[in-house]
Amino acid sequence: MIRILPIENEEFSPIANCAFDKLCLSGEAYVELIELNEDEIHTLNLQTRGVDRATDVLSYPNLNEIKTFTQNNYPFDYDIEQNAVFLGSIVLCEPIAERQAEEYGHSVLREKSYLFLHGLLHLLGYDHEKEEDRAKMRAAEEEILSTLGVER
């Protein structure tokens, strides 16, 4: 199971757990979810990636490889207080998500769900630098969101 901190998030927990199931992951893990405004995410994007603009989502993975989420497999990434492995942080910008939802013609819920899942997949080792990897990531995103009925 994947938990979302600082508080359990009713909006994104089903997405995280569906991803966990669809990707055949096991053990206990958690992610940190941070929501920032446009100025804050712009500053963070510039400081951490050298990109001088606001963006919709940023991911900061904590792990180098993905295996069963146990204390034995991740002795330095296992949080005893959470009884789970720390996957990393996802940073969302809701104002940008709202604009994109309107631009793409779907709900804000769908856009935010997609952005959260996109960030989560980055934490789990997915990337979209190469076309083949992008296609694999998009397929996983669409399968997970479709399973939950969060479609375009």
DSSP string, 25-37: --B-EEEEEEE--
Tell me the pLDDT tens digit for each residue of 79-95. Answer: 999 999 999 999 999 99
DSSP annotation of 111:
H
Provide the whole-model pTM. 0.92
DSSP H or E run through 117: helix 108-123
Domain of 82, CATH number, reads 3.40.390.30
Whether 152 is covered by a domain: the verdict is no
Tell me the pLDDT tens digit for each residue of 6-27. Answer: 766 788 999 999 999 999 999 9
Range(s) of the domain holding residue 52 = 2-147
Number of domains making up the chain: 1
The pLDDT value recorded for residue 151 is 75
Whether 113 is covered by a domain: the verdict is yes
106, with CB counted inside 10 A (0-12, 13-18, 19+), is middle
Whether 69 is covered by a domain: the verdict is yes
Whether 6 is covered by a domain: the verdict is yes
- If you search the block for the tokens 């994104």, which residue do you land on? 12
